[in-house]
Amino acid sequence: MKYVVTGSAGFIGRHVCAELLAQGHDVVGIDSFTDYYDVAIKRANAEWLGSHARYRAVELDIASGRLDDELAASDAVIHLAGQPGVRLSWNEYFHVYVERNIVASQRVLEAARRTGVRRVVLASSSSVYGNASEYPTTEDSPTRPYSPYGVTKLAMEQLAWAYAENWGVPVTVLRYFTVYGPWQRPDMGMHRFIAQTAAGELVTVYGDGEQVRDFTYVTDAAAATVAAATADVPPGSLLNVAGGASSTVNNVLKLVAENVGREVISHREPEQPGDVRVTGGSIDRARRILGWEPAVPLADGIKRQVVQQLGGDLG
């Protein structure tokens, strides 16, 4: 089968494409190589994927470029492209989030409507829940984003439902919870903790470090994503993708120190606007519909990321 993956050269995109290729599928990877972080990292991901005979790269800005030809020739599209990050989504950067999360997603959905693609998987975020009313948070919990980033991801979801209800677009939405692992973006917490600890630098910690996150190892997230694109998933499904590895930031720093072999020297800064106190997702629905279960415990996942990030070889 043939799959189109947007945001293919990103952190999660690399792993999703790798999983599809490992299963013997053909993959068209679409990426515009935006400069939110070092473009060279994305180019390296694209080059690595490009070594696979079944992979074809397309450089395209989906917020303005035409997608119809690629979608018409595919079995499904996995839409991972978007503008990440909570803290930069305020003020003058908000328009970037609107364009890359809302406008770009609408164009994917519209192209899917025109071409009749058989499956659309959209990547959303636990940020849509904000400070949730219950933990573990189910897909039926109220959505009340705590950041502009979360607002744009929820708007993307609402667009998906509108296209599903009005046009029958066969969409599945996945809400990722704190994905980490090898080849993580350099702006993300786990990557920073490892790099700064290894270099003996101060590690910036926002707040008291007792914030709780539900950490999801990236190959687990990729497996759930591919299952949503390849399994018999009811159209309109909304699924949490969580690792079941809830931990405080302080505990993560402890695990990082153990695996790097150096003490973490932390520097405390005030809590940041938009950062929620706790995340934790119920995955009962994903278990039932996808037959999916996260396989990598947090301690093992951090060890694997340390090995890759500090020069080891994980393939």
C-alpha span between 216 and 246 (Å, rounded):
9
Instruction: Determine which one of 129, 149, 163, 176 is catalytic.
Output: 149
C-alpha span between 103 and 149 (Å, rounded):
14
Q: How far apart are the first and last CA of the chain?
A: 24
Read off the tokens for 29: 């990877």
Q: Are 198 and 262 in contact (CB under 8 A)?
A: yes
Which amino acid is residue 175, in one-letter code? R
CA distances to 124, 229, 238 from 172, rounded to whole Å, are: 10, 8, 6
Residue 39 burial (CB count, 10 A): 12
Which amino acid is residue 90, in one-letter code? W
What is the DSSP secondary-structure string of 193-251?
HHHHHHTTPEEEEETTS--EEEEEEHHHHHHHHHHHHHS-PPTT-EEEE--SEEEEHHH
Q: Are 84 and 7 in contact (CB under 8 A)?
A: no
CA distances to 79, 173, 197, 251 from 226, rounded to whole Å, are: 12, 12, 34, 30
Task: Assess whether 180 carries a catalytic annotation.
Answer: no
List, by residue number, the catalytic residues. 149
